[in-house]
Amino acid sequence: MEIFFPFTNADPQRPFVVGQLGQSLDGRIATISGDALDIGGAAGLSHLHSLRANVNAVVVGAATVIADDPRLNVRLVPGANPARVVIDPQGRIGDEGRWLAGDGARRILITTRNKAPASCDEFIKLERRGSGFDPCEIVSELFKRGMKRILIEGGAMTLSRFLEARALDRLHVVVTPLIIGSGKSSIDLPPIASLAEAMRPETRVFILGGGEVLFDCDMRSGG
């Protein structure tokens, strides 16, 4: 199915930020041991690659690099590889990994330190604000470096922080007909007292192949 990606903002001075998660019917993104590689079916994976092909940068948290050693490139659809950005405040990911492949895509580390792996092209040094980096600051630093469309690919903690900071324009959740029953939960935000405080974004729904369903949520709507 052809899905239209309206990945632009009315305001050219602001980047467009889309978050994604692939989750099971019971709202899990990985098993308890961190196995997430087969959570999406063929249609969901192809959608993820289409997202990558439509952005200038793809951002993941340190735990995803440690668990999955992801390539973060475009393989299943035509398109150029986006810049690969890893948020690793404490230097946990080490000097190796498939995200550092020398395929011409920019490799950028976001850190509190003064150094990055040798094969990294750039690093962005940020101060922690409370428990971590301010996602709006991350977006603004990437925009300054020419990245106008940014994908927050996960994991759950990274995406949840961007959601909480209202730093997402859109959220794509692909639900796979799979019940894991335990493991890492999807979005996790501070508690709210009543459903009146819940985010209720305007949402389009696309039925993908293999029983997978894409929820395309407009995060600038619905409070």
Ligand X SMILES: NC(=O)c1ccc[n+]([C@@H]2O[C@H](COP(=O)([O-])OP(=O)(O)OC[C@H]3O[C@@H](n4cnc5c(N)ncnc54)[C@H](OP(=O)(O)O)[C@@H]3O)[C@@H](O)[C@H]2O)c1
The 75-114 contact track toward ligand X, x by CB under 6 A, reads ------------x-xx-x----------------------
| Segment interacting with ligand X (CB under 6 A) among 9-17, 61-69, 117-125, 202-210 | 61-69
150 makes contact with ligand X (CB under 6 A):
no
75-80 — which CB contacts under 8 Å span 24+ positions?
Answer: 75/49, 76/45, 76/46, 76/49, 77/46, 77/49, 77/50, 77/53, 78/53, 79/49, 79/50, 79/52, 79/53, 79/54, 80/53
Distance CA 36, CA 159 (A): 15
The single residue among 158, 167, 170, 216 that binds ligand X, judged by CB under 6 A, is 158
Site for ligand X in 117-136 (CB under 6 A): 132-133, 135
Assess contact for 76 and 43: CB atoms under 8 A.
Answer: no
Shortest spacing between CB 77 and ligand X, in angstroms: 17
What DSSP state is assigned to residue 107? E
Shortest spacing between CB 210 and ligand X, in angstroms: 16
CB of 27 or CB of 201, closer to ligand X: 27
The single residue among 154, 167, 212, 214 that binds ligand X, judged by CB under 6 A, is 154
163 makes contact with ligand X (CB under 6 A):
no
CB of 8 or CB of 128, closer to ligand X: 128
Buried b (16+ CB within 10 A) or exposed e, 11-43: eeeebbbbbbbbbbeebbbbeeebebeebbbeb
Shortest spacing between CB 24 and ligand X, in angstroms: 9
Within 8 A by CB and 6+ apart from 115, the residues are 91, 123
Backbone phi and psi for residue 134, each to the nearest 5 degrees, phi listed first: -80, 120
153 makes contact with ligand X (CB under 6 A):
yes
Please report, as ranges, the residues that interact with ligand X according to CB under 6 A: 21-22, 29-30, 34, 36, 39, 60-64, 67-68, 87, 89-90, 92, 132-133, 135, 153-158, 161, 184
